């Protein structure tokens, strides 16, 4: 029981149990007419490389996927743009200051939290940081490691969207940075 269809049973406006799913990722209340859409939440993920050409990966401290590898990043708060969210998340999780960033691409994901599926659009950014001297792990990560992109264990990565962002870096940026 994770999909919104299995969880959302009552209208958030009037409390009626006549809150019916529609085929367009929405629900409509037969009692008050409230129409609710299941939209994608925005999230960010940073590809950060060190001077040795290794990618910074974190370990998740919490579920979903506790202990799995991840890219640093997180949800975009209401009223916040993706770039500000990216800088905030890197500071919160790793105590690092982003000095440059470039949008790489985005991928859909399903993030299950509290037994509820949140559909996300995970946006990958190639980020440079001021330096790594103050790096520490905190917030919702239990550690970090630097891994050569060609040696990353993809089966240990937390989600398909993060695997796709890592693969995008390998396919589109790794050859450029080697030349």
Say how far apart CA 170 and CA 167 lie, in whole Å.
5
The answer on 171 and 126 residing in a single domain is: yes
Residues 75 and 31 in one domain: no
Question: Do 22 and 60 reside in the same domain of the chain?
Answer: no
pLDDT at position 176 = 55
pLDDT score recorded for residue 113: 86
Query: Residue 83 is encoded by which pair of tokens?
Result: 């770039």
Residues 22 and 104 placed together within one structural domain of the fold:
no
Any idea what the CATH number is for the domain that residue 59 is in? 3.90.79.10
- Could you read off the pLDDT of 40-65 as tens digits, one per residue? 999 999 999 999 999 999 999 998 89
Residue 159 and residue 69: Cα distance in Å, rounded? 9
Residue 73: which domain range?
A: 41-178
Give yes or no: residues 50 and 137 share one domain: yes
Number of domains the chain is built from: 2
pLDDT tens digits along 138-152: 989 999 999 999 999
Question: Does 55 lie in the same domain as 141?
Answer: yes
Task: Order the strands of the 69-70 sheet from edge to edge.
Answer: 69-70, 55-60, 141-147
- The pLDDT of residue 178 is 43
0.75 exceeded by pTM: yes
Sheet holding 35-37, edge to edge: 19-22, 26-29, 35-37
Please say if the pLDDT value at position 155 is more than 90: yes
Residues 6+ apart with CB under 8 A from 78: none
User: Is residue 65 located within the same domain as residue 147?
Assistant: yes
What are the residue ranges of helices labelled H in 21-123? 82-94
DSSP string, 50-73: -TTSPEEEEEESSSSSTT-EE-SE
């Amino acid at each position: 029981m994770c999909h919104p269809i299995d969880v959302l049973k009552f209208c958030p406006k009037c409390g009626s149990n006549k809150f019916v799913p529609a085929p367009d990722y929405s629900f409509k209340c037969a009692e008050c007419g409230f129409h609710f859409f299941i939209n994608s939440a925005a999230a960010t993920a940073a590809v950060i490389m060190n001077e040795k050409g290794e990618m910074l990966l974190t370990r998740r401290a919490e579920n979903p996927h506790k202990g799995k590898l991840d890219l640093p990043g997180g949800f975009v708060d209401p009223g916040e743009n993706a770039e500000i969210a990216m800088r905030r998340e890197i500071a919160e999780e790793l105590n690092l200051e982003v000095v440059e960033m470039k949008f790489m691409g985005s991928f859909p994901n399903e993030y299950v939290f509290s037994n509820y599926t949140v559909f996300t659009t995970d946006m990958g950014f190639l980020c440079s940081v001021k330096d790594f001297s103050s790096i520490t792990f905190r917030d919702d990560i239990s550690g970090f490691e630097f891994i050569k992109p060609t040696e990353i264990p993809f089966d240990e990565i937390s989600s398909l969207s993060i695997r796709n962002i890592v693969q995008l870096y390998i396919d589109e940026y790794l050859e450029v940075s080697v030349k």
